[in-house]
Amino acid sequence: MAELIARGYQLVDEPGEANVVLLNTCSVRQSAELKAIHKMEALIGDARAARRQAIFGFLGCMAQYYGAKLFEMVPGIQLVVGTHRMHRIPDYVDGLLSGAMDKVVDVEFEEQIPKHFTKHILEEGGHRRVTAYVNIMQGCSLQCTYCVVPTTRGQERYREMADILAECRWLADRGVREITLLGQAVNRYGHRAFPPVDGKSPFVQLLEAIHQIPGIERIRFTAAHPSGYGDDLVEAYARLPRLMESAHIPVQSGSDRILRLMRRGYTRSQFIRIVRKLRSVKPDIGLITDLIVGFPGETDADFEDTVSLLKEVEFDQAFIFKFSPRPGTVAASLPDQVPDEVKEERHAKLLQLMNEIGQRRYSRLLGQQVEVLVEGPSWKNPERLTGRTRCNKIVVLEGGEDLIGQLLLVRVKEVGTFTLYGEVEQVIG
């Protein structure tokens, strides 16, 4: 998007006002693909009904996965660009609009991550953004049996640390105070590509270097893989005050048998050991996880293992998904596929349990003082402001726009469903 704006294109508020409509897509679950297809069909239908000419295209994982087949699946699109070629979009849009090109499909693989892939838009809704995401790697070299990421995004490729640090400094110079590092298994950054130094993995070296950048007050990362949680990373939470005490660590299942079928590379007890180590250095750390129900062969006993794990660990939040077979993955052809109605039942049970646990954990903060970085107006009520605590809990509060970008001490006055409501007590800076 930033590259298109730099080329002179402008964002519009509604798709019906645009002469170029691009959908960035995901292929992790079938529901996400169907949603993208239905959305695109509706957009094309609206344009035809209004006799309005526009360029329509799919970007990202679904484009990479299906390639030219998308022209048959959704008649009316003209552009399909995969995950490795996003930086070429401005040239293709120029060509399509000028008539120099008719249809474009580009899903070729590129070994290096282009530097200009990481440009940012730092203004949103009329105010400067104070948080930013920084991609540090692409692809995944793990072989989870349910996942299409290695197919759509390729094997792990890492940006040079100097390039990442230059981007973080650029963001800090423009008022960004919080950085979130992105990667499919982000804490595996530099795995077998860059050497450890003084017993510290490349990822911990990167955290230390970002920690030294003036202006960056908060550092987060997502999503991590349990295999990347070495003692050096656990210890980093204890000694780097700008590394926020929050962690998104997908566990996927509480059953060792299912974890083996998933090829996750760890056991239930190993995962719990990681949690205990993290809580030993940061007792109030906010823990988020991902869970899959209905994986092929999952029995009632396997599911109850996941239920018991959720009760034992008491995550602050969990993203719970019904298994979605992806064509070409090992899991799609495994025997004993779980019926949809069983998936639905298990999904509902875990959601209810997670809501109960989350409400209990959030309620412990009632009356407590928390540090909040104000990010901007609340999307539900623009008259209010919203921000996040150090442990990544959303806080809604009263205040003027002058508080955007400020670190505050806030007293929690009310607790909602995975949201805190507070009152400003002090501006830290």
For the chain, list residues with pLDDT below 70.
Answer: 1, 111-127
Domain of residue 398 covers 369-427
pLDDT of residue 120: 61
Number of domains in the chain: 3
pLDDT of residue 119: 54
CATH code: domain of residue 395: 2.40.50.140
Q: Are residues 34 and 94 in the same domain?
A: yes
In three-state secondary structure terms, 60 is: strand
Helix or strand (DSSP H, E) at 211: helix 202-211
**Sequence-separated (6 or more) residues with CB below 8 Å from residue 400:** none
- Give the distance, in angstroms, between the CA of residue 329 and the centroid of all CA atoms in the same chain: 22
In three-state secondary structure terms, 63 is: helix
pLDDT of residue 112: 67
pLDDT of residue 116: 46
pLDDT of residue 126: 59
Q: How far is CA 351 from CA 222, 242, 293, 356, 357, in A?
A: 22, 32, 11, 9, 10
CATH code: domain of residue 158: 3.30.750.210
Domain for residue 230, yes or no? yes
Q: Are residues 138 and 46 in the same domain?
A: no
Q: Are residues 65 and 129 in the same domain?
A: no
pTM recorded for the entire structure:
0.89
Domain for residue 291, yes or no? no
pLDDT of residue 260: 98
- Give per-residue pLDDT as tens, 172-198: 999 999 999 999 999 999 998 999 999
CA trace torsion 387, 389, 392, 398 (10° rounding)? -30
Q: Are residues 188 and 98 in the same domain?
A: no
